[in-house]
Structure 1
Amino acid sequence: MIKSCVTIALVPQIKTGPWIFWEDLEAGMAKAAKLGFDAIELFTASPDAISIPRLKELLEKYKLKLAAVGTGAGKVIHGLTLTDPDSEIRKKAISFISDMIDFGAALGAPAIIGSMQGNVLPESNREETMSWLAEGLNKLGKHAESNQVILIYEPLNRYETNLLNTLEAGSNFLDTLETKSVKLLADLFHMNIEEGNPEESILNWGKNIGHVHFADSNRRPMGFGHTSMKPIAEALNTIGYSDYASAEAFPYPDPDAAAEQTIAEFRKWFR
């Protein structure tokens, strides 16, 4: 059974980003629990932004799971990516993500690599850049495996990265890796831009999907854009997807209304 999830961000530098709840972790968790969400996806500035015992205590208090942890602060705050031409920056990026893997794994949750994947820069060679990405994912995938979790890699749209933009491209790249512990994030917002047929891509490459971002075509909560959700929901059910559909969406028109809209749409398609 697919499980519901809502995002909570605790990083002031990304306040304009697509996250439903902000700043107050417990208040966000309380609202998520009241609405009936199964889990939260958490974005923190660092692995030690909140203690693991405290987070575990709150999860138990509100009967929620930790679905995943984001790593975007590594780029937003520290300027780190896995494909930077500077080898020292790449090492720091791997170290930051490794620490986030440890943080999430303590509560059974994977880390997500989105913006920290980086780009092929104008002065860089694509083949070399992709080798850096492969090197980083191989190291991090093995680290995740040693922590008994997977690692989530997110194909982003062309306006955010020029590395891998579709589930097909992501799947083909994963096939070249030594590690088998990296899975893909099917973000419905990015897929609306890059996939000619999102449901067909899910059916074709579903074996590699480890997480879903549940947001509409305009990055608002599902139901506020033009995504054709019925065939997508059918495709996810057909492949037997049973992990999280997480609302990485703008808090439109406000966080509470966005959360209510999300859980209503989730129940419409997955319950």
Structure 2
Amino acid sequence: MNKLGVHALVWAGDLTPESTRKVLSQTKAAGFDLAELSLHGPKVMDLALTRDLLQEHELDIGCSRGLTFDADVSSEDSATVARGVSMLEEGISVTAELGGGYFGGILYGAMGKYNAPVTKQGRRNAIDSLKRIADFALKKNVTLGLEVVNRYESNLLNTASQALAMIDEVDAPNVVVHLDTYHMNIEESDFMQPVLQCGKRLGYVHIGESNRGYLGSGTIDFSQFFHALAMIDYKGVVTFESFSSTVVNEQLSNALAIWRNLWDDSMDLAKHAREFMAGGINAAARAKSHH
């Protein structure tokens, strides 16, 4: 059975000690195995407290972030690239200090709407930066996940095949593809091919509905997606992601265009998601074993 995770923004918009306490206790109470923390402002985090709470609640941890335009490793400006690299190194260090082994997200450029395609030099800078941070991460036993996101959040990786091509070029053993159903729904032709294409290189999964609300309330073919995961024998983490104007993170909520209120009750949303995911994964596993 896959470990099931939930994104911290289901519970709280920041990682102050008080919010971290809430995030981790609620994650446990809702029945999840892992909390994904978004490192969009790690300065306020109390790492020792977070580590203690993870142990107390017996939870695993995954970390994620996206870069900003002034710290964009796919920029042509070397100072901007350098700021991006140090931001990524900070994220990897925080992940390792928390006892985590996974740092994913938009690690290859800024998270936001670009006004032009990536340049040749910009793409080369992104690849060189990823080579460097993959090396840095390897020494800390951290796997890097390149999250494939839609055209409004990146001009570099919008499909699984683009991510696989970039991973080939980066050529590091600890870089994997991170797929997210919300983004796949916009950019991929279906929910099966990209998963089969990734195969063993799929390292992390985000489950999000087409409207980023309650699972099953939108248009995504989750059954097809869970069957695809079963077909490649995916053993990794499956993390629920949902955003509503009820819980706001200054940087992230606006970057993700969370303008509408899709839910008020975090616990109801999370428990429903956990059941939905476990049910889908189990059904796909049973279907596979009957073939």
CA contact (8 A) 1:120 1:163 kept: no
Question: Hey, what does 2:288 align to over in structure 1?
Answer: none
CA contact (8 A) 2:101 2:141 kept: no
- Aligned amino acid, residue 216 of structure 1: E
Deviates further, 185-194 or 232-241 = 232-241
Paired residue for 2:158, among 148, 160, 165? 165
Aligned-partner Cα distance in 2 for 1:133–1:218: 30
Question: Hey, what does 1:263 align to over in structure 2?
Answer: 274
CA contact (8 A) 1:223 1:261 kept: no
Q: TM-score, normalised by structure 1?
A: 0.87
CA contact (8 A) 2:107 2:146 kept: no
CA contact (8 A) 2:163 2:177 kept: yes
Question: Hey, what does 2:59 align to over in structure 1?
Answer: 64
Aligned-partner Cα distance in 1 for 2:192–2:96: 30
- Aligned amino acid, residue 7 of structure 1: H
SS in 1 for 2:170: coil
- Map residues 9-24 of structure 1 onto 2, 5 A cutoff: 19-22=9-12, 23=14, 24=19
1:240 aligns with 2:230: no
What CA deviation, in whole Å up to 9, does each residue of 1:32-88 have, x standing for no partner? Answer: 11121001000134444323321111011112110x21223x52xx83211123211
Question: Hey, what does 1:104 align to over in structure 2?
Answer: 95
Change (3 A) 1:121 1:227: closer
Q: TM-score, normalised by structure 2?
A: 0.82
RMSD: 2.1
Question: Hey, what does 2:254 align to over in structure 1?
Answer: none
Shift of 1:124: 7.6
Shift of 1:109: 2.7
Ranges of 4+ aligned residues in structure 1 off by more than 6 Å: none
Identity %: 24
- Aligned amino acid, residue 64 of structure 2: G
Shift of 1:173: 1.6
Question: Hey, what does 1:11 align to over in structure 2?
Answer: none
What CA deviation, in whole Å up to 9, does each residue of 1:180-237 have, x standing for no partner? Answer: 3211110110000111022121012222211100111222232121111112111111
Question: Hey, what does 1:6 align to over in structure 2?
Answer: 6
Question: Hey, what does 2:263 align to over in structure 1?
Answer: 253
Shift of 1:99: 1.2
CA contact (8 A) 1:71 1:116 kept: no
SS in 2 for 1:253: coil
1:26 aligns with 2:21: yes
CA contact (8 A) 1:97 1:140 kept: yes
Number of residue pairs matched by the alignment: 257
- Map residues 84-99 of structure 1 onto 2, 5 A cutoff: 84-99=75-90
- Aligned amino acid, residue 32 of structure 1: T
Aligned-partner Cα distance in 1 for 2:200–2:172: 15
Question: Hey, what does 1:42 align to over in structure 2?
Answer: 37
Question: Hey, what does 2:47 align to over in structure 1?
Answer: 52
Paired residue for 1:114, among 106, 112, 119? 106
Aligned-partner Cα distance in 2 for 1:269–1:99: 36
Change (3 A) 1:209 1:123: closer
Aligned-partner Cα distance in 2 for 1:125–1:207: 28
Aligned-partner Cα distance in 2 for 1:212–1:5: 10
Question: Hey, what does 2:148 align to over in structure 1?
Answer: 155
Question: Hey, what does 1:80 align to over in structure 2?
Answer: 71
Change (3 A) 1:158 1:143: same
Q: 5+ residue gaps in structure 1? A: 9-18
CA contact (8 A) 2:117 2:155 kept: no
Change (3 A) 1:144 1:115: closer
Aligned-partner Cα distance in 2 for 1:121–1:144: 28
